[in-house]
Amino acid sequence: MFKIVICEDEAIQRKIMFEYIEVFLKKDIEYEIICFNNGEELINNYIKADIIFMDIGFKGMNGLETAKEIRKIDKDVVIIFATAFVSYATEGYDVRAFSYLLKPISYNAFEKIMLKYFIEKSEEKKLIEFKIKDEIKVIKLEEIICVESLGKYIKVHTKTESFFTATKIKEVEEKLSSKVFFRCHKSFLINLLEVRNYNRKEAILGDRKIKAAISYRKYNNFKKSLTSFLCDKF
């Protein structure tokens, strides 16, 4: 069953989101909507969900702090923040926020986010093959953290392992989604969903804390791509 959580302290906003979800999903899939009034209530009663729609401006533990706690128990759930302040939009990369909805939330904005979610979910099911000696290794795109070029070889870093294969990074780049993967350096192709932290010289990726260099010329485009991807350009 498809499970959606609404975490919002304003009753009218919960009602609006509830109705939007019902209109969008209709009876196409079996789903359940679970509502919580604040972050503490969500954390204390958390049930594995597919999507969390969460307000940021809670009293006490705010939405960003709540999301950090949720990530400790669920690394995969999609978190979509609702906020009245655009300034919060760049603060969600460390909790891997999928996107943001700017209050007051229109149905068109909500629908756009949901379509984006289902499109990217379908892309995650895509597979890519790597030849390792005489064997073929098949990897889901969502499992790739980054690809590193090392001369005649590339090193593929996934969520669980790293391995070498004799191919060019450009050939891999052509096979990967341009929306999710970004060439931040001549030697690194990274998954924007896995960015945990960054500075002008490098990005820290995934739970394995893989380091990827960022070239001087690519830094501004990297920031734009990351912000645009996480915030959906509002």
The domains of the chain are located at 2-124, 127-229
Confidence (pLDDT) at 65: 93
**Which residues have C-beta within 8 Å of that of residue 194, sequence separation ≥ 6?**
96, 145, 146, 205, 206
Confidence (pLDDT) at 234: 38
Confidence (pLDDT) at 106: 94
CA dist 57 to 3, 19, 35, 92, 191, Å?
23, 21, 16, 14, 29
* Cβ count within 10 A of residue 159: 17
Confidence (pLDDT) at 99: 86
How far apart are the C-alpha atoms of 61 and 215, rounded to whole Å?
37
Confidence (pLDDT) at 93: 64
- Contact, 193 vs 165, CB < 8 A? no
pTM as predicted:
0.64
Tell me the HSE value of 26 on the side-chain side, using a 13 A CA sphere.
Answer: 2
How far apart are the C-alpha atoms of 95 and 91, rounded to whole Å?
9
- Contact, 6 vs 35, CB < 8 A? yes
Confidence (pLDDT) at 24: 92
Tokens 């128990």 appear where? 73
**Run means of pLDDT, 10 residues per run, the chain, 234 residues:** 94 95 87 95 95 89 92 92 70 76 92 87 80 87 93 94 94 83 96 91 94 96 81 44
Topology at the third CATH level for domain 2-124: Rossmann fold (3.40.50)
Confidence (pLDDT) at 233: 37
Domain 127-229: CATH class, spelled out: mainly beta
* Cβ count within 10 A of residue 11: 10
